[in-house]
Amino acid sequence: MVIEDGMNLRTLDLNLLPVFEAIYVERSLTRAAETLHLTQPAVSNALARLRHALDDPLFVRQARHIRPTPVADALIGPVREALARLSSGLDARKRFDPATSERVFTIAMGDAAAARFVPALACRVAEAPNIRFDVCQVERDKVARELAAGGLDLAVDIASVARADLDSVALADKDEYACILRRGHPASHGRLTLAKFLALHHVVVSSRRRGRTRLESALRDIGERIRPAFRLHDHHTAFEVVMATDLALVARLSLARRFDVVVRPLPFAMSHSELRLYWRPEMRHDPAHAWARAVLLNAAGAAGFR
């Protein structure tokens, strides 16, 4: 593969390419060294050799971080392609067989998506008794970086995570939102008007520490607001709080059906954010990864995401 101006990969030490990719992803020599389990002087030396070979600084200092030069931006795609092809070639001797593979796939998704997704996924992996799916929550602003760095194999998240260096497919969520109350709640009978809804004390759920939740954004669109009594990081805790108090929660119907609660239609529109399944482009043709994506998409269909 030719990298730039006729320079062939054969003229470079291939050991430098993972270093280049790690620096590009982490924007820090220190974090790149940690990712690669190398010392920082070793990473600095590798970068110096790359700069000399390519006659470009590749990364320049900007405030507390470093940013890639236009040459580095142009190189990252071909470098990743080369690394993926090399990895694929090395793995070609091992034919992927889900019945015998012990592969571990790390998948990021929020707790609400996981509550619907994972049971459907578990029903579809009987053919792969030794494969493990590690499902975790990752802060939204770190999902793309974790995918690019290889810390994640796949992620289910909203469309704002999308980047040019990630592949993705839409998961059209058909689930609806509703107001959730405990049985016997004073507002559990009769029509729930907007005024009654706004008068309730609310608990909201978000994996982020700050910023508007989906509910707060929907109310802002109609010129209204609430002051939540609690902001929690997972829906299960929120449902437990609702069942024990007079607090109200806005959540998806599929989740509400798992709890002994009263469900009331919302008195305003609350649109869905498009969910997508994300992965690194270099894994596009990896047999094991392709199998995992197919299983996940199949599970998404069963869970009402497609």
The full set of domain ranges for the chain reads: 2-91, 104-173+274-302, 177-264
- The DSSP secondary-structure symbol of 271 reads P
Higher pLDDT: 242 or 4? It is 242
Averaged pLDDT, 108-135: 89
Identical fold between 104-173+274-302 and 177-264? yes
Dist. CA 129–CA 32, nearest whole Å: 35
Give 135's pLDDT tier (boundaries 50, 70, 90). very high
pLDDT digits (tens, 9 = 90+) for 175-216: 789 999 999 999 988 899 999 999 999 999 987 788 888 899
Other Cβ atoms closer than 10 A to 291: 19
Give 5's pLDDT tier (boundaries 50, 70, 90). very low
- Whether this prediction's pTM lies above 0.85 is answered by no
Cα angle value 224/229/232 (rounded, 5°): 105
For residue 267, which amino acid is it? Answer: P
- The DSSP secondary-structure symbol of 150 reads T
pLDDT at 4: 45
Maximum average pLDDT range among 118-122, 259-263, 272-276, 282-286 = 259-263
Dist. CA 117–CA 287, nearest whole Å: 22
Instruction: Write the CA distances from 89 to 95, 136, 171, 252, integer angstroms.
Output: 11, 30, 32, 44
pLDDT at 235: 92
Strand partners, 178: 251
Q: Which residues of 35-51 are buried (b: 16+ CB within 10 A; e: fewer)?
A: bbebeeeebbebbeebe
pLDDT digits (tens, 9 = 90+) for 205-262: 987 788 888 899 999 999 999 999 999 989 999 999 999 999 999 998 888 988 999 9
Averaged pLDDT, 58-65: 86
Average pLDDT, rounded, for the chain: 86
Q: Would the pLDDT of 160 be above 90?
A: no
Higher pLDDT: 121 or 163? It is 121
Q: Is 251 helix (H, G, I), strand (E, B) or coil?
A: strand
User: What number of CA atoms fall less than 13 Å from residue 119's CA on the CB side?
Assistant: 11
Of 1.10.1450.10, 3.50.50.60, 3.40.50.1580, 1.10.10.10, the CATH number of 2-91 is 1.10.10.10
Token pair for residue 41?
């002087």
Distance of CA 84 to the CA centre of its chain: 21
119 φ/ψ angles, rounded to the nearest 5 degrees: -60, -40
Dist. CA 185–CA 269, nearest whole Å: 23
Cα angle value 134/136/138 (rounded, 5°): 140
Output the CATH code of domain 177-264.
3.40.190.10
Least confident of 33-42, 77-86, 206-215, 242-251: 77-86
- Classify domain 104-173+274-302 at the CATH class level: alpha beta
Higher pLDDT: 209 or 267? It is 267
Dist. CA 290–CA 19, nearest whole Å: 26
Q: How much of the chain, in percent, has pLDDT values that exceed 90?
A: 42
pLDDT at 277: 93
Cα torsion at 178, 182, 187, 189 (round to 10°)?
Answer: 90
167 φ/ψ angles, rounded to the nearest 5 degrees: -90, 155
